[in-house]
Structure 1
């Protein structure tokens, strides 16, 4: 009779073993801290008789700065777009709106309120919560 060894299982906080706890997803992004640590390691380990080209080092530093500014610009653009969607949804309250749902259902009704709880604002029309990107038309109510 042969005895099979039992592989150790990782233990979770509750004391239970978990196969999923052993799997760790690798980091796929490179931020400024990683770049700087690589640059410092490169400087520490360079050959003293053939030091790193300062033009190359400046070029890498400029590229890092440009990358950080592009990320900042992207974040600001996303925040601006989110604000525009919220403003557009708020302006629909009290208006007659036409909508087309994902299943192809169309309808018309008065927008009574707006919710910002999701990624896309939703407009309450009757009993339905319609995503802002499903609104297909707008009609101002007739003046009394």
Structure 2
């Protein structure tokens, strides 16, 4: 039996059209936004505009704010201090709100093809990889970084 697919995607350096193409090519049915702040200066990537654009493509949208990185973690990541970001994010994952959001993410990813969304192009330097790792432990997913 094959493992269900779980994708991760960052929009850094992509146009909204390139982003949507990547999701469609992977047959993604749901985007799970794991940004603490679902706002963007990039056209089409703020929460309301993104949800509407995804809906036009037949893709659902879910924002799970508790799975976002706290400000200090985002600052560490921007400065290339990935280990520090990971430590800060592990503290965030230990909160009751994050635990509930993780359960919701797991249920959704088990029910349909989902993609975890954040900004960074390189999944290795992004907290969405930590979310994906936790989901793999629980759901046995095969992760694809789009």
| Band of TM-score, shorter chain | under 0.3
Normalising by structure 1, what TM-score?
0.19
Greater share of residues in helix: 2
The one of the two structures with greater contact order (alpha-carbon pairs below 8 A, sep at least 6) is 2
In terms of Rg, which structure is larger?
1
Normalising by structure 2, what TM-score?
0.19
